[in-house]
Structure 1
Amino acid sequence: MKYIADTINLSKGTVEEKREQIKNYFLQTYELDEKLFDLLKDKKSIYEQPNRLRHPLIFYYGHTATFFINKLIVGKLINKRVNKHFESIFAIGVDEMSWDDLNSENYTWPEFEEVKAYRDEVKKLVLNLIDTIEFKMPINWDTPMWVILMGIEHENIHIETSSVLLRELDISHFGKKELFTYCTEYKNEYPKNELLDVSANEVILQKDRKNPIYYGWDNEFSYHKAQIKEFKASKYLVSNGEFLEFVEEGGYSKLKYFSKDGLKWLDFSQAKMPTFWIKKDNKYYLRQIDNIVPLPLNYPVDINVYEAEAFCKYKSEKLGFEVRLPSEDEYYRLYDYVNAENKEANIGLKYFNQTPVDKYNFDGFYDVKGNVWQWSITPTYPFDDFETHPVYDDFTTPTFDDRHALMKGGSFISLGNETLRSARYAFRKHFFQHAGFRYVKSNNDYRTKLNDNVYETDELISQYCEFHYAQEYFNVKNFPKNSIELLKPYLKDVKKKRALDLGCSVGRSSFELAKIFDEVLGIDFSANFINVGVKLKKYDNLIYKIKVEGEIFEDKSVSLKDLGLDKVKNRVEFMQGDACNLKSIYTSYDLIFCSNLIDRLYYPQKFLDDIPKRVNKGGLLVLLSPYTWLEEYTPKSNWLGGYYKHNKEVKTLDTLKQNLNKEYELVDLIDVPFVIKETSRKYQHSISQMSIWKKK
């Protein structure tokens, strides 16, 4: 079967033509995702966990449908959930971020048939939206249809990542049916690699948010330019045969080849050869997605960054000069040099496996795109005027941590946005992703770190860093710290084992609570916000930019040590979550602390129906809010107060009492002022009301 490999041109055609294209594109992606799981012999296998750092397969089967609903709600294209429970348990935990909860024992997964029925319901809803949603051409990231495309391209990513998880699953779980086309040009020999010249030239990346031509993720937009000097690159991707030389010379046991982090991975994995190789009776075999074949020496090797770096050091010894992984910009230069855009490649599911490294010729080089992703030496970093998309603000920002490396070129199973030159995908360096590499001999400059300092450049996040961690203004005490200080007298008779800081923002109150409680969990809807807390835990320091005037900014810094919080940071964890649709595992807390949260929720009544049940008997629920209800955040029909009903004022505190009085005693009300600095001459001065409720 020939698949639509290319993503859709968003700048040409009529609205109705585009509807039809997007509908076909959606159906292909949605059905292909399900077809992958049809490879399993029986559906019980979908509850297996092939990789202990990832969820069981059933999570990924449900996740891509849930993503559509959650993003359509955030984008205000729908206002009603399909299945609240599913849209909680299948929502988060996909990428291996440090705040993900990957303990499978915490979940009771639904039956496969229930999840399939849910997927069918979501499919019907999305098809209806594609038919009816109003939009104009060209489609850009402010267009409502962009959210649909976001869901489709997100599912394309998961078709690939799920195929890797299937490849890690024991082969006994697969049937004998062949649902895809396989390349069988297996050879027990491989072409000798060599270094070829790539001429010097300028590299330019340019993608416009207003007229992007094709769908793109946030990190692809803006303008980037680099001047690349002449360098040499390997003619072929490193083949299994070339890599076998490294293995048979004991490369995995020669620790000098591995970086410091590489040695940690080596100790963790105890690897002696690539993860998809199998050795039996002194013969090597290759595990493909759903079969095992004698190791084709002419196919590209699948490895992670640490293995690729080690091989480059080994190869440098052999050659007598240094070779390394290419930088992202060197990859772009090679791509342009051979006009890879217009060359045939093993990409877009032409085959369901890799192909020989000498099959697809790119003007003398081979596989400049396709076959396997190519690791680069470059960490994920933002272009100068990087912006997050408001509907998916955590696509890239959690990877700005020097622990994710950019991959280029796509693989045999890559579709849509993944096939574009402009695509910028990154994975953690120890992960496997149908990824191989080529090596370069080069004197070009390249970055190996995102920054010497952990840097936060987003203006809104920087404003909240200032609010949480900076000095006092106009004699108004630091709000998060002061809130916890004011709360302390009410905690005397409360157990101090577990606290939940819900709506934790950039984390100051979570760290302050850790001075009192044994365990503190900070949860926020925005991964960008909680990433500040994650960075502070890891690095202790953070530098951020705060606006002075117009386009003038100044650098500010925060240190947990200076604030006296470094000794308690290990008591704190941060996770992403939706306060109106929280996972069931978040329960049994001695304190739930919600600061300036309820008047920013899209459905605060759902929050009030659910959260009080999660507090232990005798524990506290603490709500702070200035009650600034705005339709920008909360539909007016969902406000808890600030309106008239039957000619009577409805105030938020009265609604809280109606909801909580049965199970809770209102202990006290305290006014807590706060100041938010916007510029050096503009500040917000507000007063939040702290209501302290004790569970009866």
Structure 2
Amino acid sequence: MLIANEIIVKFLQTRQATEEICAPLTQEDYVVQPTVDVSPPKWHLGHTTWFFEEFILKKYVENYKEFDPQFSFLFNSYYESMGERVLRTNRGNLTRPSVEEVYRYRDYVTNHLSEFLDDHANDEIAKLITIGIHHEKQHQELLFTDIKYILGNNPLLPHFSETFEENLIEKQKSKWIKIPEGIYEIGHATTDFCFDNELGKHKVFLHKYKISNKLVTNAEYLEFIEDGGYSNFAYWHAEGWDWVQQNAIKNPLYWHFIDNEWHQYTFKGLKPLDLEAPVTHISYYEAFAYAEWRGLRLPTEFEWEVAQDYFDWGKRWEWTESAYVPYPFYKKEPGALGEYNGKFMVNQKVLRGASVVTSKDHSRYTYRNFFHPHLRWQFTGIRLAKR
């Protein structure tokens, strides 16, 4: 476990990194919630602060005085055992507290927790701080993707950063990696940090398979579009086809067809589509349909984990063909932290890897991200597999 000075440094670095992400925002950007899955940046700032206040300061600091008792209601996310909360759909209605007050709240909690850690960084506290740090790192990634959705749905398509490069090109030659049939161990097994859904190392049997060393590119995905992929039901799950029809989906999120050329909204604003870059912002439905069109398939999360040493991952969260379910030896964390992962193990697909907006020291090959099949505001991508 981290010693006091180390964990204080990591805590402060994490808190600073969150605020640096928000630095380019205008006051108005902090409150917008264009869809239920996107939370306003101001809410992220408050929620990540509430986590430290609720799980550590209020529990362990004698005579601790809350910054504002109402904030527990405003910034709880989904922890039923922690009391009432603002409905997720209503986070965009929180014009108050002001952005300035939320930043004061952050400073208040950060300072109190830093002072507390100077003398109380035992193993139990250090474990909770570490969970809080990685919880905030998750929200840093969400901040990036939520900010992009907020700005990307603004009619002006404003830029967020002139320097952030989200389309990292894979230069290696495309090839199929052959993995032999066998019994393999899956899951996190070191003393390094992980979430509870990664634990329970267990064995799986895999038939021999091949997996691509590269992600599908925009150019390759464009071929699917031009061949009528979005208008041919034969490539889609029934549920996916309903989603395409009901939402008039014809291309990945943030693609715009202007003057007979494809463009893509990026953090740098609207740019011509980079054909060499990995395709991104697609749903599981689209990833599956593309694989069907190619006569191929998506890998399972186990196939992905076994093969991860053979390709360069981390540019896109990669959809897998695996349902998000518990491992055989899965055990939930006790108390409210048990709500972190376990209660979402239904009707979702597992994504593996990381993305260009994943925070530093937050990616590992056992990480199990998970989303509903229709969601695509994250930096998602496609890696193909076959027998």
Aligned to 2:176: 195
8 A contact 1:45–1:173 mirrored in 2: no
For 1:304, the equivalent position in structure 2 comes to 283
Deviation, structure 1 residue 424: 1.6
1:46 corresponds to which of 30, 34, 37:
30
Q: What is the SS of the residue equivalent to 2:337?
A: coil
Q: CA deviation at 1:312?
A: 1.0
C-alpha distance in 2 between matches for 1:415 and 1:181: 14
How far 1:168 moved relative to its partner? 1.2
Tell me the residue number matched to 2:342.
Answer: 397
Tell me, yes or no, if structure 1 residue 379 matches structure 2 residue 323. yes
Aligned to 2:215: 237
TM-superposition CA deviations, 1:245-291 (whole Å, max 9, x none): 01111211212222122123223432110002121111111222342
- Kindly report the root-mean-square deviation, in angstroms, between the aligned alpha carbons of the 2 structures: 2.7
Tell me, yes or no, if structure 1 residue 27 matches structure 2 residue 12: yes
Corresponding residue for residue 144 of structure 2: 163
Cα distance per residue 1:138-194 (max 9 Å; x no partner):
xxxxx221111111101111111111111112354746764x55378779xx98855
- Aligned 8 A contact 2:196 2:330 in 1: yes
Cα offset, 1:223, TM superposition: 2.1
1:163/1:289 contact within 8 Å kept: no
1:328 Cα deviation from its structure 2 partner? 0.9
The aligned counterpart of 1:408 is: 352
Contact 1:39 1:175 in 2 (8 A): no
1:388 deviates by 1.4
In structure 1, the partner of 2:42 is 58
Q: TM-score, normalised by structure 1?
A: 0.50
Q: 1:107 to 1:166 in 2, by over 3 A?
A: closer
Pairs within 5 Å for 1:377-526 = 377-390=321-334, 391-401=336-346, 403-415=347-359, 418-432=362-376, 433-442=378-387
Return the alpha-carbon distance in structure 1 between the equivalents of residues 323 and 374 of structure 2. Answer: 13
Alpha-carbon offset, residue 395 of structure 1: 1.3
Write 1 or 2 for the structure with the bigger share of strand. 1
Structural mapping, 1:133-282, within 5 Å: 133-136=120-123, 143-171=124-152, 172=156, 174=158, 178=162, 180-182=163-165, 193-205=174-186, 207=188, 213-282=191-260
Do the aligned partners of residues 76 and 19 (structure 1) sit closer, same or farther apart at CA in structure 2, a change above 3 Å counting?
closer
- Structure-2 change in CA distance of 1:269 and 1:103 (3 Å): farther
CA distance in 1, matches of 2:239, 2:91: 27
Identify the residue that residue 83 of structure 2 maps to in structure 1.
none
Q: Aligned partners of 1:293 and 1:299: how far apart in 2?
A: 13
Secondary structure of the residue that 1:59 maps to in structure 2?
helix
Q: 1:333 — aligned with what?
A: 306
The CA distance in 2 between the partners of 1:284 and 1:82, in whole Å, is 49
Take 2:16 and 2:193, find their aligned partners in 1: how far apart are those partners? 20
- Structure 1 residue 52: Cα displacement: 4.0
Larger Rg: 1
**Aligned CA distance change for structure 1 residues 183 and 53 (closer, same or farther; 3 Å):** closer
For the residues of structure 2 that align with 1:398 and 1:265, how far apart are their CA atoms? 25
Q: Report the CA distance between 1:76 and its aligned residue.
A: 4.4
Q: Does 1:89 align with 2:74?
A: yes
| 3-state DSSP of counterpart to 1:423 | coil
Cα deviation per residue 1:557-579 (whole Å; 9 max; x = unaligned)? xxxxxxxxxxxxxxxxxxxxxxx
| Conserved 8 A contact 1:167-1:290 | no
Deviations 1:392-417 (A, max 9, x none): 1111122211x211111111222356
Whole-Å separation in 2 of the counterparts to 1:440 and 1:65: 41
- Listed as ranges, the matches of 1:323-362 within 5 Å are 323-336=296-309, 338=310, 362=311
Deviation of 1:128 after TM superposition, in Å, equals 2.0
The alpha-carbon distance between structure 1 residues 417 and 222, as it changes in their structure 2 partners (threshold 3 A), is farther
Contact 1:50-1:166 at 8 Å conserved across structures: no
The answer on whether the counterparts of 1:206 and 1:221 sit within 8 Å (CA) in structure 2 is yes
Question: 1:286 touches 1:294 (CA, 8 Å); kept in 2?
Answer: yes
Shift of 1:292: 2.5
Report SS of the residue matched to 1:244.
helix
Aligned residue type for 2:106: R
SS in 1 for 2:42: helix
1:301 aligns to what SS in structure 2? coil
Letter matched to residue 110 of structure 2:
K
Which secondary structure does the structure 1 equivalent of 2:371 belong to? Answer: strand
The match for 2:82 is none
CA distance in 2, matches of 1:184, 1:173: 18
Contact 2:11 2:133 (8 Å CA) reproduced: yes
* Structure 1 counterpart SS, 2:100: helix
> Match of 1:202, SS?
strand
Distance of 2:327 and 2:167 partners within structure 1 = 41
Deviation, structure 1 residue 200: 3.3
Supply the distance in 2 between the matched residues of 1:52 and 1:195 (Cα, whole angstroms).
Answer: 39
- Cα deviation for residue 201 of structure 1 reads 4.0
| CA distance in structure 2 between the aligned counterparts of 1:289 and 1:60, rounded to whole angstroms | 19
Asked if the contact 2:159–2:269 (Cα under 8 Å) also holds between the matched residues in 1, the reply is no
CA distances 1:214-269 after superposition (whole Å, capped 9, x unpaired): 11111112221112232111231011111000111121121222212212322343
- Higher alpha-carbon deviation: 242-251 or 380-389: 380-389
Name the SS of the counterpart of 2:186 in structure 1.
strand
Identity score, percent: 26
What SS is found at the alignment partner of 1:413? coil
C-alpha contact 2:7 2:126 (8 A) present in aligned 1: no
| C-alpha displacement of 1:91 | 1.2
The answer to whether the aligner puts 1:117 opposite 2:95 as a matched pair is no
Alpha-carbon offset, residue 54 of structure 1: 3.2
Given the superposition, is the C-alpha separation of residues 161 and 101 from structure 1 closer, same or farther in structure 2, using an over 3 Å criterion?
Answer: closer
State TM-score, norm by structure 2.
0.87
Find 2:51's aligned residue among 33, 54, 67.
Answer: 67
What are the Cα deviations for residues 297-317 of structure 1, in whole angstroms up to 9, with x where unaligned?
A: 11111111010011111111x
Opposite residue 325 of structure 1, the aligned amino acid is: L
- 3-state DSSP of counterpart to 1:21: helix
Q: Which amino acid aligns with 1:86?
A: F
CA drift at 1:37: 1.6
Secondary structure class of the residue paired with 2:318: strand
**Preserved CA contact (<8 Å) 2:161 2:267:** no
**8 Å Cα contact 1:240-1:299 kept in structure 2:** yes
Q: CA 1:200 to 1:418, structure 2 compared with 1: closer, same or farther past 3 Å?
A: farther
CA offset digits 1:588-612 (Å, max 9, x no partner): xxxxxxxxxxxxxxxxxxxxxxxxx
Tell me which of the two structures has the higher relative contact order, counting C-alpha pairs closer than 8 angstroms and 6 or more residues apart.
Answer: 2
Q: Structure 1 CA distance, aligned partners of 2:53 and 2:28?
A: 26
Q: What SS does structure 2 have at the residue aligned with 1:233?
A: strand
Mark the CA change 1:414 to 1:202 in structure 2 (over 3 Å): closer, same or farther. Answer: farther
The 3 A distance-change label for structure 1 pair 185 and 232 is: closer
Partner of 1:629: none
Distance of aligned partners of 1:173 and 1:114 in 2 relative to their CA distance in 1, 3 Å threshold: farther
The separation in 1 between residues aligned to 2:266 and 2:59, in whole angstroms, is 39
